[in-house]
Amino acid sequence: DEDKPLYRRVLLKISGEALMGDREYGLDPDMVNRVASEVRSVCEQGVEVCVVIGGGNIFRGVSGATTGMERATADYMGMLATVINCLAMQNALERCAVSTRVQSALHIHAVCEPYIRRRAIRHMEKGRVVIFAAGTGNPFFTTDTAAALRATEMGCDALLKATQVDGVYDSDPLKNKDAQRFDTLSYLDVLSKDLKVMDASAISLARENKIPILVFSIHKHGAFRDVLCGRGRYTKITD
Ligand code: UDP
Per-residue model confidence as pLDDT tens digits over 177-202:
999 999 999 999 999 999 989 999 99
pLDDT band at 65 (very low <50, low <70, confident <90, very high): confident
* Average pLDDT of the segment spanning 214-230: 97
Centre of ligand 1 to C-alpha 98, Å, is 26
For residues 205 and 152, the answer to whether their CB atoms sit within 8 Å is yes
Centre of ligand 1 to C-alpha 80, Å, is 9
pLDDT one-digit tens code per residue, 86-101: 999 999 999 999 999 9
List, in sequence order, every residue forming a beta bridge with 49; answer none if it has no partner: 10
CA 31 – CA 16 distance, rounded (Å): 11
| Residue 139 marked ligand-binding | yes
CA 115 – CA 205 distance, rounded (Å): 19
- Give residue 145's Cα distance to chain centre: 10
For residues 55 and 143, the answer to whether their CB atoms sit within 8 Å is yes
Does the CB atom of residue 139 touch ligand 1 within 6 A? yes
pLDDT band at 64 (very low <50, low <70, confident <90, very high): confident
The helix/strand/coil state of 11 is strand
> SS in 3 state form for 169-182?
ECCCCCCCCCCCEE
Q: Is the dihedral of CA 51, 56, 60, 62 positive or negative?
A: positive
- Can you give the pLDDT at residue 2? 76
Centre of ligand 1 to C-alpha 171, Å, is 24
For residues 181 and 168, the answer to whether their CB atoms sit within 8 Å is yes
The helix/strand/coil state of 168 is strand
Beta strands in 1-144 (DSSP E): 9-14, 48-53, 100-104, 113-114, 129-133
| Residue 82 marked ligand-binding | no
pTM attached to this predicted model = 0.97
pLDDT one-digit tens code per residue, 110-156: 999 999 999 999 999 999 999 999 999 999 999 999 999 999 999 99
pLDDT band at 70 (very low <50, low <70, confident <90, very high): very high
Domains and CATH numbers, the chain: 9-238 (3.40.1160.10)
